[in-house]
Amino acid sequence: MFSGAQISLYPMSDDFADVILSAIGALEPYRPHFRIETDDISTLIVGPPEQLFPAMRDLFLAAARSGKHCVLSATVSRGCPGEPDDPICTPLTGSRNNLPLADRIEEARARVAGTDGTGQAVAAQFSLYPLGAGHHMDEIYGCIEFLKTSGVFDRSKNFCTKLRGDAGPVFATLAEAFLRFGAPEGHVALDLTVSANSPTAA
Helix ranges, the chain (H):
16-24, 52-64, 101-113, 136-148, 167-180
- CB of 42 closer than 8 Å to CB of 156: no
Q: What is the DSSP string of 20-46?
A: HHHHHGGGGGGTTT-EEEE-SS-EEEE
* Cα–Cα distance measured from residue 163 to residue 176, given in angstroms and rounded to the nearest whole number: 13
Q: What is the DSSP string of 177-192?
A: HHHHSS-TTS-EEEEE
**Angle between helix 52-64 and helix 16-24 axes, rounded to 10 deg:** 140
134: left (phi over 0), alpha (psi -120 to 50) or beta: left
pLDDT (tens digit per residue) in 131-182: 876 678 889 999 999 999 999 999 999 999 999 999 999 999 999 999 999 8
For the chain, 202 residues long, give each residue's pLDDT as a single digit of tens. 899 999 999 999 999 999 999 999 999 999 999 999 999 999 999 999 999 999 999 999 999 999 999 999 999 999 988 888 888 888 877 556 778 999 999 999 999 999 999 999 999 999 999 987 667 888 999 999 999 999 999 999 999 999 999 999 999 999 999 999 988 778 999 999 999 999 986 5
List all residues 6 or more positions away from 46 whose beta carbon is below 8 Å from its beta carbon.
Answer: 2, 3, 4, 34, 35, 36, 86, 88, 89
Domain ranges for the chain: 3-196
* Cα–Cα distance measured from residue 18 to residue 41, given in angstroms and rounded to the nearest whole number: 15
How far is Cα of residue 185 from the mean position of the Cα atoms in its chain? 19
- At the top level of CATH, the class of 3-196 is alpha beta
